[in-house]
Amino acid sequence: MDGLILVHKPQNFTSHDVVKNIRKTLKARKVGHFGTLDPLATGLLPVALGKATRLFPLFLDTAKTYKGKIRLGFSTDTYDSEGKPTSKIASKLPKEKIIRAAAKEFKGEITQISPAYSAKKFKGKPSYTLARQNKEIELKHNKVFIYRFYIENYTPPFIDFEATCSSGTYIRSLAHDLGQKLKCGAHLVQLIRTNVGNYSIKHSYTLDEIARSYRKGHAKKMLLPLESLLPELPRVVLKKARALSVQDGCSISSDWVLKIIPGEKIKSKKRDKKKTVFRIFSAEGELLAFAREERENGILHPFLVIKPRERSP
């Protein structure tokens, strides 16, 4: 099977646990996820199968949306409710208008420090393994982009929020940093991911639903095919005689193109200005490759061939 399954990750599962479960359930060899979720978090986890696992780099710039709950009053060493307190409980909490004003200051590009208890590598090892051994860790500073950080409700000491951010953002760090700005401490107590790009949790499946569907022989109905993935990228349809050349990795000149279909609008614009990526299709509607444009002459260069040409032995 080749494609993407939108999984609703349960609490206390790592993202890798979900991958192992899907691999076993669907008896698939190549399985991977697009966007790690902490064990505490639930929600949308896109899981790729077969050739779709090769598309990971193209999902790196995809914005993600979360809903969650932050507790004000004290911070923890993990930046969430599973950690040990690192500050005393604040005797006084800020008013709602101050919290809302502080949240707005996080909008745009910010620098985050990844939590010590995270999968970020330090000297070749996940930092959480070193943190558990009480070893000193040089926490990394990362630039991320916050499109939206909105306070939905405030019932002291709890804040209900929604945030849309770039890939690589730690919502735990966002909660911790908000507490530091408010000078009362804070940590994340609940988190659910609702969107990855244009993919919504509304169209996701639980692990039990996937298992039941597989037993009934309906698992493929849950799979988003390769041709439907990354719809925000322009679609280039080739003339019938040119498909084989692209499958060999040959560059695409304008006279090879039958038509170009613009990509769908996405909810959040990408921060960077990388060369536009195009999805390359055969005249029959099969996804062949992904290509980048050479601005000087308009030639498209395939950098990821999904379906290489089959050659005779």
Cα radius of gyration rounded to whole Å, the chain: 22
As to burial, measured by CB atoms within 10 angstroms (0-12 exposed, 13-18 middle, 19+ buried), residue 120 is middle
Peptide bond into 231 cis (omega under 30): no
pLDDT tens, position by position, 227-243: 999 998 999 999 988 88
pLDDT in tens, 156-210: 999 999 999 998 899 999 999 999 999 999 999 999 999 998 899 999 999 999 9
Q: Which CATH number fits domain 3-62+199-227: 3.40.50.2000, 3.30.2350.10, 3.90.1300.10, 1.10.10.10?
A: 3.30.2350.10
User: Is-same-fold flag (3-62+199-227; 64-196)?
Assistant: yes
> Which candidate in 2, 17, 38, 61 is catalytic?
38
Give pLDDT, residue 271: 43
Q: Is the pLDDT of residue 121 over 50?
A: no
Cα→Cα distances 23→5, 20, 173, 244, 264, Å = 12, 5, 31, 32, 31
DSSP labels, 157-214 = TEEEEEEEE-TT--HHHHHHHHHHHHTS-EEEEEEEEEEETTEEGGG-B-HHHHHHHH
Contact at 8 Å (CB) between 309 and 247?
yes
Residue 63 is predicted with a pLDDT of 92
Longest dimension (CA), the chain: 76
Higher pLDDT pick, 133 / 47: 47
Instruction: Give the angle subtended at the CA of 220 by the CAs of 284 and 60, to the nearest 5°.
Output: 75
Asked if 72 and 157 touch (Cβ cutoff 8 Å), the reply is yes
CB 30 within 8 A of CB 49: yes
Q: Is the per-residue pLDDT at 288 higher than 50?
A: yes
The residue ranges of every structural domain in the chain are: 3-62+199-227, 64-196, 230-305
pLDDT at 94: 97
User: 248 catalytic, yes or no?
Assistant: no
* Other C-beta atoms lying within 10 Å of the C-beta of residue 29: 9
Condensed to tens digits (0 to 9), the pLDDT of residues 58-110 reads: 988 889 999 999 999 999 999 999 999 999 999 999 999 999 999 999 999 99
64-196 fold: Pseudouridine synthase (3.30.2350)
The Cα-based distances of 245 to 18, 64, 206, 287, 293 in angstroms read 38, 36, 41, 14, 17
The sign one gets for the Cα dihedral 180, 184, 190, 196 is: negative
Fold of 230-305: 2.30.130
pLDDT at 217 over 50: yes
Strand arrangement, sheet containing 287-294: 257-261, 235-238, 277-281, 287-294, 299-305
Q: Which residue shows structure tokens 């199968």?
A: 49
Question: What pLDDT is recorded for position 130?
Answer: 40
Q: What is the pTM of this model?
A: 0.88
pLDDT at 227: 95
Contact between 302 and 251 under an 8 Å Cβ cutoff? The reply is yes
Nearest-CA neighbor of 198 among 264, 288, 273? Answer: 264
Higher-pLDDT residue of 46 and 114 is: 46
- For the chain, what is the mean pLDDT? 88
